[in-house]
Homo-oligomer: A and B are copies of this chain.
C-alpha cells in the first residue's frame, strides 16, 4: 500500500488484453501490435505514457512513447520481429516538466512576472541531472543555470525552446510512475499462420489406375499440379493403419464389406497406431520423400491429429487405463445417444494417468515434427479437454515455435473461441454456412473488428470431406467460383478439399449436406481433366493472393456500400495504401446483378475529381472510375466476382496509357 500512495496516474482499459491477460494475442513475424489505454491522473497536470515491450529471453524492455488520441486515450505500437512470445506493458507518469512548460507559456503570454517560475523550472532541470544520459548532463546543468541566471530574456527563450524540451523529454523524471500491473503477451507465429492456402486430399484416391489404392508415390506425381494451382499446404487426412473391428462401409454403412477400406479417422490396427503408416500408402521413407518433394515445390505437408482409437489400436492393450471401462468389462465406445460409434474408443482425458496419456500424445506430435511436419489440422479438438490442448500446444511451441495448429472445431462459438485462446493458430469457422450479405457482414465484423480478431485466426473452407453445403449442391460452377473468391479474399487463410472442389463434385446424400459416396469410406477415382474444372481459375486466383499483400491479412477487411442486396462489396488495403484490393461478389448464382458501389476514395487519398483505374485481376478487364459512386454488373455465368486492384496514380488523361 504505502509504496503506491503517491502513484497518481491511472492506467486502465488496456486493449488488446484477452480475459484480463489470461491469454496471449496472436501475431505473425513482421506484424505490428497496436496498444491503447486510458492514462490519466487527478487535477490538471500533464501525463506522459510509454509502451514497453520485449521478446522472450530478452532482459530489458524497449520503450515507445505513446501518443495522446482523445478523451484520456493513448496509443502506441511495436513490431514483432521473431517467432515465440513477446511481452508488453505500459507506464504512465505525471510529466512535471511538460506541466511546468505548458503553464509557463501561459503565464508568460499573460504578462505575469516569471522570475520565480523560471526558478521552479530550474529545479526540475536539476532534479533530472541524476536521470539524464551522462553526455547530456553538462548541457542540462548549463541550461538550468541560465534559467536561474540574471538574463531574463535568455532564460525565457531557453524555457520554451526546443533544446531544453528535447533533453528533458529524453530522460523523463518518472518519480512515482505507475507501471501497469500486468505483463501481457503475444504469441508470434511465422507468416504462414496468417497467410496460407490449403489443399486437402486423400492420398489413397491418388492412383491413376482405376480401382487401385493410391500411394504416397502416386500423390507425389500430383504435387507439381497442386503447386501450380498455388497451394502452399497439402493437408492429408490420417495416414495411419485403419481398424477392422466395426469398420464402417461405403456411405457410412454400419456394416462393411470385406473389400471396404474404412475411414482414415478410425485409427489403429495390429499394424500400428498414431505413429505408423497405413501399409498400402507406403512406408516411412515414402512419406519422407513426399514431404521433401512438396518442400521443393514450395509446399508443406500437413497431417491430421485425430486423437482417438479403434478397438484394434495398440493403446487398447498397452494402456487400457486410458479408456473408460463399462461395468461389464468392455471398453466404452463413442456415442452421441442414441447413436453408437462402436468403431471408435475415445481416449479418456479424465484417466488417473492424465500425464501419461498427455505425454504419449505429445510424443506422437513430436514424432511427426521430426519427420518434417510442422502443420497439423486437429480433428475435433472440442471433444478433448481444454487443459490438454493448452498444455500440448504450449509444450510444442516452446520447442518448435514454427508449428501451426488448425482447430477443426465445428461447434458452439464460445467453445471455438476458447480453443483459439488456449493456443490454436488457426480455426475453422461458420463461413461454410454464411450465405446472405447480412450474414457475411455480421460474421466478418465479429471476426475482424472485435477483440476476437486478436486471438482467433479464421481459416475459410468452401467444402470439407464432411460438408458439401447446399449452395454447392445446387448453385452450379458459378457457386464454386463465388465461394472460392469469398473464402480466399475475405480470409487470408483458406483451403479447399480437392479434387472434389475443383471438379465441382456436388452429389449429396439425399437431404443432407454430406457427399454421396464420400471418400471418407471408399476410394474415389477422379478425372482431374474433366470439362469445366477450376484448376486454371484457382491458379489465377491463388496467384492474385500471392501477389497482393492486402489479401494476406484478414483484420484489414472493410465492407463498403453497394445498393443491391445480392452484391457484396468489400476491400482490403496495406497500411501504406500501396496495395488496394476491392472485391465485388454476386451472391446470387442464378441472375445477373448490378448496382452502384460507393468507393471510400477519401480513405484511399483520391480526390473527388481524380479518375482512377480499377483493374480486374481475375478477368484482366480495366475500368476508369471517377468519384465515389460507380456502376458494376456481374453475370454469374460469366464470372460471379470482380477482384479489382485500385491504381490511383493517374495525374493526367495521358497517364491512362500507362495502365491500359
Contact = CB atoms under 8 A, between A and B. Distances in A.
Interface of A: 1-2, 4-8, 10, 12-13, 19-21, 38, 40-44, 71-72, 102-103, 106-107, 109-110, 112, 116, 119-120, 123, 176, 326-328, 330, 335-338, 349-350, 354-355, 358, 382-388, 391, 412-415, 418
Given A349-B8, A350-B8, A386 B42 contact: yes
11 contacts: A1-B391, A6-B385, A8-B350, A38-B414, A41-B386, A42-B415, A107-B338, A110-B337, A119-B327, A120-B327, A123-B327
Nearest to A381: B42
Nearest to A94: B350
A112 B387 CA distance: 34
Nearest to A421: B12
B42 A12 contact: no
A19 B8 contact: no
Contacts of A414: 12-13, 38, 40, 71-72
A328 B42 contact: no
- The oligomer's copy count stands at 2
Contacts of A327: 116, 119-120, 123
A106 B40 CA distance: 59
A237 B174 CA distance: 38
A355 B72 contact: no
A6 B326 contact: no
B338 A43 contact: no
Contacts of A338: 106-107, 109-110, 112
Contact of A119 (B119, B120, B328): B328
Contacts of A387: 4-8
Given A327-B116, A337-B107, A418-B10, A43 B383 contact: yes
A382 B71 contact: no
Contact of A71 (B110, B112, B388, B413): B413
A13 B413 CA distance: 13
A17 to B, nearest CB: 9
Nearest to A105: B337
Nearest to A120: B327
A335 B117 CA distance: 13
A648 to B, nearest CB: 38
A49 to B, nearest CB: 14
